[in-house]
């Protein structure tokens, strides 16, 4: 490993891990830790991040890191926070970095409990919209009409018919003081949000859109470009909610049609065939509703 | 005899005895879920905290799964940690317990024994904790509330031993122990403190010494990880015996080591059992001895690691061992019976082993039941009949399909 070279010098998540080329998640983690600084304990549930960052005997983590199970990271984090409080290690904070499968689906009960109790944990969901570590199975975070291995496109299927679970809203409704969405396409914005989250005490939630070349079906050098398309078409709204109120959004300067985003990824390619037009219309409506709901475009 | 003052003797509910033992051990983090089912233990602890008698972080979670997960996290962060549960709640913890044993995270759980659904019940048997026997969790079973109090204090020291570092479960029968009142001798706080110093593990989640916990393993290391838990179990047999003896010196109460052999010298028939039923069996043994029958009892105190060496010493001269299992492995037989037979298999001149399934779902076991078990064992011994299937005691054929 070239741990001491170049960009790695100050990094708390260094090279040598086994993420795919162009992995949005690996990039997100490095910038999350840049924003938190070194005095954090990171909890990671089972998933891509756990697998590519922890082959036994090697570790890119320069902060204490723990993986326990798939569905209990929020509770493990609560236990660590309780121990830190008991030991009066007040300078150390707890951060969960977990995928959407763990967060939206199997670990949702534990997450809800952690939020309701008000435990001092920053929960970051790196959202790539499916169970990508195992080949791309449908999760509650999978976007509408995306094709996955457990809800594939076929003669009688256009992929996932349901809406993506609106987890930021559900988290905010727990009374969570800080909720934000971010994208690896806007790293400065991402770091700012993590920094702001660190100024709060109690539970905090940040959901980061992390484009996945192998799962979404795009060339690995395009991860940030795909991320930007998602944000600028309105399907990936970036906002902050503080104490229940929407306090800031990232404005869309030049609105793109959803087709610009969808056609760049093979998980949506069926929508661009002849019989896809009504489904495309639905997705455009979802994007337009987001734009209206979060006021993503400044009307002049 | 140690001197006893009135102040350290009190009649309390079994659950309160556990809570007072836990309080005496000064855990830094407790987490619990109140149902599925639970006992008064976690309510007593909550009351002590509400009254300012305890300074502990108490994480009130939304499931037993999270309760076990919270104390796994707090243990990894270097805090003495505790939870209690029972029945379905213990099953819900199963995945967490396997993982925490594999990650060598020490904590203590009270496993209050109750039967498993279906049919749903609140009655007692050992199916819940027996179902966790392969997890890497050390398991003790107790006969009385005094023993449950003392065993909890030993349990933290055993779990946190640097060469053990495993979860420890103290199993106690629901209702019979948790809800009954017993005269308990409490240990003075200074004595507990000197027996059980604060938990200061060599490794914990530390920003000054960052390490990765719970890494992904492949075929080149997984077997060694698993074997190291077995090594800890093997070492544990010796260390547990030492720690029990050390505590006995402080309290003046000796409950035995890994087992307690009761009137086994010259016994031809030996009963093997664990849990609160042992008190009833002792009474039956005394009665049978008084009419000249050579009957004895081996009480298992430590079930995992399984103390087959100690059991062998106690039973090797007997003709027959009647195992009483309050659990059953569907499609096979009772767990204790299986454990004992597997260890005797291949040895020479071993006693015959008969497995009796008794007391499932709270079915009463009294002195007469025990006498019938002894008679049945003698009958089969005299007829030279092997018993290849477990014998279900007091089964009612009239309501069977």
Pairing label, strands B269-273, B295-300: parallel
Contacts of B244 (CB under 8 A, 6+ apart): B154, B255, B256, B257, B301
Q: What is the DSSP string of B212-242?
A: EES-B--TTTHHHHHHHHHHHHHHHHHHHHH
Select from B131, B74, B103 the least CA-distant residue to A76: B74
Whether B240 and B286 share a structural domain: no
B1 found inside a domain: no
Asked if residues B156 and B25 have their Cβ atoms less than 8 Å apart, the reply is yes
Query: How far, in Å, CA of A91 to CA of A112, rounded?
Result: 25
User: How is residue B46 written in tokens?
Assistant: 């909550």
Going from N- to C-terminal start, the domains of chain A cover 6-293
Statement: residue A146 has pLDDT above 70: yes
Task: Quote the DSSP letter at residue A101.
Answer: I
Chain B: residues touching A (Cβ < 8 Å): 28-29, 31, 56-57, 59-63, 65-67, 69-79, 81, 95-96, 99-100, 103, 205-207, 209-218, 221
Per-residue DSSP letter, A255: P
Question: Are A250 and A186 contacting, i.e. CB atoms less than 8 angstroms apart?
Answer: yes
Q: B66 and A109 in contact by Cβ < 8 A?
A: yes
Residue of B207, B219, B224, B225 for testing the chain A interface, max A β-carbons within 10 Å: B207
Fold topology of A6-293: Rossmann fold (3.40.50)
B223: Cα separation from own chain's centroid: 27
Which of B60, B205, B217 is the best mutation test for A, with the most CBs of A within 10 A?
B205
CA distance A152 to chain B (A): 29
Please indicate whether, in this complex, the C-beta atoms of B212 and A54 are within 8 angstroms of each other: yes
Host domain of residue B231: 6-251
Q: Is B352 exposed, middle or buried (0-12, 13-18, 19+ CB in 10 A)?
A: middle
- Say if strands B391-392 and B212-213 run parallel, antiparallel, or are unpaired: unpaired
Q: Give the separation between CA A231 and CA B33, rounded to whole angstroms.
A: 41
Same domain, B326 and B223: no
- How do residues A215-235 score in pLDDT, each as one tens digit? 999 999 999 999 999 999 999
**Contact with chain B for residue A224, Cβ under 8 A:** no
Q: Tell me whether residues A38 and B214 touch, CB distance under 8 A.
A: no
CATH number at residue B348: 3.40.50.920
Last-in-domain residue among B206, B232, B251: B251
A37 DSSP assignment: -
**CB pair distance less than 8 Å for A75 and B61:** yes
Residues B277, B201: one domain?
no
Do residues B302 and B138 make contact, with C-beta atoms less than 8 angstroms apart? yes
Residue A68 and residue B69: Cβ atoms within 8 Å?
A: yes
CB-CB under 8 Å, A67 with B215? yes
Query: Closest Cα partner for A214 from A98, A83, A48, A15?
Result: A48
Distance (Å) from the C-alpha of residue A258 to the closest C-alpha of chain B? 39
| H/E run at residue B156 | helix B145-159
End-to-end CA distance of chain A: 52
Please name the residue that has the structure tokens 């009892």. Answer: B297
The H or E element containing residue A278 is helix A277-293
> What ipTM was predicted for this assembly?
0.96
Closest CA to A27 of A288, A224, A272: A224
Q: Which residues pair with B320 in a beta bridge?
A: B269, B352
Peptide bond into A273 cis (omega under 30): no
Among residues B219, B251, B283, the one where a domain terminates is: B251
A160 in Cβ contact with A148 (< 8 Å): yes
The SS3 assignment for A227 reads helix
A50 neighbors A76 (Cβ within 8 angstroms): no
Asked whether residue B161 falls in the same domain as residue B275, the answer is no
Task: Clarify whether residues B40 and B106 are in a common domain.
Answer: yes
Residue among B28, B66, B218 minimizing CB distance to A83: B28
Q: Which of B65, B70, B216 sits opposite A54 (nearest CB)?
A: B216
Measure CB to CB from residue A66 to each of B61, B76, B96 and give the nearest one: B76
CA distance A226 to chain B (A): 30
Nearest to A113 by CA among A248, A237, A203: A203
A76–B72 C-beta distance less than 8 A: yes
* CA distance linking residue A114 with residue B70, whole number of Å: 10
Q: Would B64 be classed as within a structural domain?
A: yes
Residue of chain B whose alpha carbon sits nearest to that of A85: B57
pLDDT for the residue numbered A9: 61
B69 to A79: CB separation less than 8 angstroms, yes or no? yes
Each residue of A254-276: pLDDT tens digit?
Answer: 999 999 999 999 999 999 998 88
Q: State the average pLDDT over residues A169-198.
A: 98
Confidence check: pLDDT of A3 > 50: no
- Report the gap between the CA of A17 and the closest CA in chain B (Å): 12
Q: Are residues B192 and B266 in the same domain?
A: no
Do B323 and B221 share a structural domain? no
What is the full DSSP assignment across B64-133? HHHHHHHHHHHHHTT--EEEEEEHHHHHHTHHHHHHHHHTT---EEEEEE---SSSP-----SHHHHTTT
B121 plus B192 within the same structural domain: yes
**How many CB pairs lie under 8 A apart between chains A and B?**
160
- The partner residues of A214 in beta bridges, in order of sequence, read none
Q: Nearest-CA distance from A69 to chain B in Å?
A: 7
Residue in A57, A68, A75 closest to B214 by CB: A68
In terms of domains, do B201 and B339 share one?
no
Distance, in Å, from the CA atom of B229 to the CA atom of B238, rounded to the nearest integer, reads 15
Count of domains for chain B? 2
Return the CATH number at B33.
3.40.50.970
Retrieve residue A93's tokens: 């904070």
Task: Specify the pLDDT at position A5.
Answer: 46
Contact across the interface for A64 and B207, Cβ inside 8 Å? yes
pLDDT value at residue A1: 41
Q: Among B198, B227, B251, which residue terminates a domain?
A: B251
The answer on B380 and B275 residing in a single domain is: yes
pLDDT at residue A253 greater than cutoff 80: yes
Say if residue A247's pLDDT is above 70: yes
CA pair distance B147, B19, nearest whole angstrom: 14
Judge if the upstream peptide bond of residue B193 is cis by omega within 30 degrees of 0: no
Question: Is B292 part of a structural domain of the chain?
Answer: yes
Cα–Cα dist B225/B102, whole Å = 7
Say if A64 is an interface residue toward chain B (CB within 8 Å): yes
- Kind and range of the H or E element at A126? strand A121-127
Minimal C-alpha gap between B74 and chain A (Å): 4
- Cis-peptide into B150, omega within 30 deg: no
CB contact under 8 A, A79 and B218: no
Sequence-distant (6+) residues with CB within 8 A of B169 are B108, B109, B110, B111, B129, B132, B137, B138, B139, B140
Q: How many helices (H) and strands (E) does chain A have?
A: 10, 10
CA–CA min distance B84, chain A (Å): 15
CA distances from B312 to B125, B139, B156, B240, B347 (A): 26, 20, 28, 18, 10
- pLDDT averaged per 10 residues in sequence order, chain B, 401 residues: 67 98 98 92 97 97 98 98 98 98 98 98 97 98 98 98 98 97 97 98 98 96 98 98 98 97 98 98 98 98 98 97 98 97 92 97 98 96 82 96 93
Q: What is the token pair recorded at A178?
A: 């800080």
- B194 lies in some domain: yes
Rounded Cα distance between B65 and B60, Å, is 12
Q: Note the pLDDT tens digit of each residue in A20-30.
A: 999 999 999 99
Q: B288 and B174, same structural domain?
A: no
Q: What would you report as the CA-atom Rg of chain B, rounded to the nearest whole angstrom?
A: 21
The pLDDT of residue B36 is 81
Confidence band, pLDDT 50/70/90 cuts, at residue A134: very high
Residue B321 burial (CB count, 10 A): 27
Position B172 in a domain? yes
**B57 three-class SS:** strand
The answer for A 99-158 residues in CB contact with B (under 8 A) is 109-110, 112-113, 116-117, 119
Do B338 and B386 lie in a common domain?
Answer: yes
Q: How far apart are the first and last CA of chain B?
A: 57
Q: Is residue B256 part of a domain?
A: no
Show the DSSP H helices in B304-344 as ranges: 308-315, 335-344
- Phi/psi at A237 (nearest 5 deg)? -75, 135
Residue of chain A whose alpha carbon sits nearest to that of B77: A80
Rounded to a whole number, what is the distance in Å from the CA of B91 to chain A's nearest CA? 15
CB-CB under 8 Å, B210 with A83 = no
């Amino acid at each position: 490993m070239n741990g001491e070279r170049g960009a790695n010098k100050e990094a708390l998540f260094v090279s040598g891990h086994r993420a795919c080329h162009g992995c949005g998640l690996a990039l997100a983690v490095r910038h999350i830790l840049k924003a938190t600084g070194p005095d954090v304990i990171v909890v990671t549930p089972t998933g891509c991040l756990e697998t590519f960052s922890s082959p036994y005997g090697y570790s890119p983590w320069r902060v204490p890191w723990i993986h326990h199970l798939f569905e209990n990271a929020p509770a493990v984090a609560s236990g660590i926070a309780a121990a830190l409080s008991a030991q009066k290690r007040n300078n150390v904070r707890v951060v969960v970095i977990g995928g959407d499968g763990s967060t939206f689906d199997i670990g949702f009960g534990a997450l809800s409990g952690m939020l309701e109790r008000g435990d001092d944990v920053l929960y970051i969901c790196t959202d790539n919209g499916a169970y990508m570590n195992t080949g791309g199975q449908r999760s509650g975070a999978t976007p509408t009409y995306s094709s996955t291995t457990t809800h594939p496109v076929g003669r009688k299927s256009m992929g996932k018919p349901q809406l993506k679970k609106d987890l930021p809203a559900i988290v905010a409704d727990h009374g969570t003081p800080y909720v934000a969405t971010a994208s690896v396409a806007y790293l400065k914005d991402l770091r700012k949000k993590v920094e702001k989250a660190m100024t709060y005490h109690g539970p905090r939630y940040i959901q980061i859109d992390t484009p996945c070349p192998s799962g979404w079906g795009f060339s690995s050098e395009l991860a940030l470009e795909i991320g930007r398309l998602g944000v600028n078409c309105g399907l990936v709204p970036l906002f902050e909610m503080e104490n229940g109120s929407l306090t800031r959004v990232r404005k869309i300067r030049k609105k793109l049609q959803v087709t610009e985003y969808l056609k760049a990824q093979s998980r949506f390619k069926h929508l661009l065939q002849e019989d896809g037009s009504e489904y495309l219309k639905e997705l455009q409506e979802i994007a337009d509703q987001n734009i209206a709901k979060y006021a993503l475009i400044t009307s002049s | 005899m140690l001197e006893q003052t009135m102040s350290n003797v009190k009649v309390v509910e079994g659950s309160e005895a556990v809570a007072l033992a836990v309080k005496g051990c000064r855990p830094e983090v407790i987490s619990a879920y109140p149902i599925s089912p639970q006992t008064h233990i976690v309510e007593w602890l909550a009351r002590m905290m509400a009254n300012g008698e305890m300074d502990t972080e108490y994480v009130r979670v939304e499931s037993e799964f999270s309760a076990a997960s919270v104390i796994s996290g707090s243990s990894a962060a270097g805090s003495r940690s505790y939870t209690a549960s029972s029945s379905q709640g213990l099953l819900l913890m199963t995945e967490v317990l396997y993982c925490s044993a594999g990650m060598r995270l020490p904590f203590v759980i009270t496993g209050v024994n109750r039967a498993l659904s279906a049919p749903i019940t609140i009655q007692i048997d050992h199916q819940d904790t027996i179902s966790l026997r392969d997890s890497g969790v050390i398991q003790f079973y107790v006969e009385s509330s005094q023993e449950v109090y003392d065993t909890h204090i030993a349990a933290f020291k055993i779990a946190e031993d640097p060469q053990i570092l495993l979860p420890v479960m103290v199993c106690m029968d629901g209702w019979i122990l948790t809800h009954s009142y017993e005269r308990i001798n409490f240990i003075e706080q200074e004595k507990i403190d000197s027996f059980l110093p604060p938990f200061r593990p060599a490794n914990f989640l530390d920003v000054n010494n960052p390490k990765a916990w719970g890494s992904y393993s492949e075929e080149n290391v997984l077997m060694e990880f698993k074997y190291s838990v077995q090594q800890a179990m093997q070492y544990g047999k010796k260390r547990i015996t030492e720690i029990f003896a050390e505590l006995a010196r402080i309290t003046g109460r000796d409950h035995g080591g890994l087992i307690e052999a009761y009137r086994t010298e010259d016994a031809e028939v030996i009963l093997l059992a664990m849990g609160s039923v042992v008190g009833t069996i002792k009474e039956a043994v005394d009665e049978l001895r008084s009419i000249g029958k050579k009957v004895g009892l081996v009480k298992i105190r430590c079930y995992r690691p399984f103390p087959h060496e100690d059991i062998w010493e106690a039973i090797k001269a007997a003709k027959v061992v009647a195992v009483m299992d309050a659990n059953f492995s569907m499609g096979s037989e009772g767990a204790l019976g299986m454990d004992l037979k597997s260890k005797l298999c291949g040895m020479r001149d071993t006693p015959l082993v008969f497995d009796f399934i008794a007391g499932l779902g709270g079915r009463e076991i009294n002195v007469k039941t025990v006498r019938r078990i002894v008679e049945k064992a003698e009958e089969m011994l005299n007829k030279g009949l092997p018993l290849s299937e477990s014998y279900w005691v007091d089964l009612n054929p009239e309501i069977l399909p």
